[in-house]
Structure 1
Amino acid sequence: MPVSTALLLAGALVTVAILFGIAMRMLDGRRRRGGDLRMRAEDLDVPHVPGVTLVQFSTQLCARCPHVRRLLSEISTHRRDVNFLEIDLTDRGDLAARYRVLQTPTTFLVDASGLVLSRWAGVPDRTAIDEGIASVLDHQTQEQ
């Protein structure tokens, strides 16, 4: 293979890798719908409190998980209607498969029935979490 062709292929590969990295960075921490996921009661080891639960999936070696843990703990501490639960996937790979968690940290916003309403892969934005909680609680208030 001529050197010019090899350099052209290497340049194209680097360009594709950079574009992929930019796309992944843009999607990191963005709020998505929960889809049809419903968490099982035995996996939600929190006392039943009206409102919602923020569930963080993490691992022991996750570098970004402590930051997310502090953020979610702070939110739940300041709001009576928000619970926080952290699930360490290090020894619970079955939960990663069951709930389609492909990276850590991943955060779910779960209602009282266990329905996953929103999910964030990566480090979520505080504003997006607050908006997600507000929309759920506003909807619950309207139903009552």
Structure 2
Amino acid sequence: MPLSIALLIAGAVVLLAIAAGFFARAQDGRRRTGGKVLVDWADLPGGTTTSITLVQFSTELCARCPQVRRMLGEVSRETGIAQAEIDLTRRSDLATKYHVLQTPTTFLIDAAGEVAARWGGVPDRASIIEAIEALGVSSSPTRARQEQS
């Protein structure tokens, strides 16, 4: 094979890899629909609940998971909805069951147990609040305090 063709192929492979990287980065944290996935409440830590819940799938070595955990905690306090975290290091069976391919992955589960929205990577706070409000929950701190009393 001539050197010029080999260099052309190598250059095309590099450009393709760069384009794939930009595409993957653009998809990170983007809100997706839940795909009619039903969550078994028994899979969530803390037992059975039947309320709107933010669930974060993480692992022990996930560098971005603590950041997402803090943000989800703030959103949970503001809206008064439940929050749970599943460590896939200990529960790897759930990664297969719920098609979790990266950490962090966040699910918003409605009261019926259906995944209303999901985010792969670091979600945008505004996107989470928008999805919660679509379920009829206000994000105002005043409402959260009233519901807790």
Q: TM-score, normalised by structure 2?
A: 0.86
1:109 is aligned to 108
User: Percent of pairs identical after alignment?
Assistant: 55
Query: Deviation per CA, 1:30-66, whole angstroms, max 9, x where unpaired?
Result: 110001211101012346364x100000001111111
2:134 is aligned to 135
The gaps in structure 2 that reach 5 residues or longer are 138-149
What is the rounded CA distance, in whole Å, between the counterparts of 1:115 and 1:70 in structure 2?
24
AA matched with 2:97: R
- Count of residue correspondences: 136
What is the rounded CA distance, in whole Å, between the counterparts of 2:79 and 2:26 in structure 1?
29
What is the rounded CA distance, in whole Å, between the counterparts of 2:94 and 2:38 in structure 1?
12
**SS of match in other structure, 2:84:** strand
Query: Deviation per CA, 1:46-99, whole angstroms, max 9, x where unpaired?
Result: 46364x10000000111111110110011112222x111010001211100000
1:7 is aligned to 7
2:141 is aligned to none
**SS of match in other structure, 1:103:** coil
2:142 is aligned to none
How do residues 31-42 of structure 1 correspond to structure 2 at under 5 angstroms? 31-42=31-42
1:142 is aligned to none
1:48 is aligned to 49
What is the rounded CA distance, in whole Å, between the counterparts of 2:111 and 2:34 in structure 1?
14
How do residues 92-107 of structure 1 correspond to structure 2 at under 5 angstroms? 92-107=91-106
**Deviation above 2 Å: which 4+ runs of structure 1?**
44-50
The gaps in structure 1 that reach 5 residues or longer are 139-144
1:118 is aligned to 117
How do residues 74-93 of structure 1 correspond to structure 2 at under 5 angstroms? 74-80=74-80, 82-93=81-92
Aligned-CA RMSD value: 1.4
Contact conserved, 1:34 with 1:116, CA < 8 A, in 2? yes
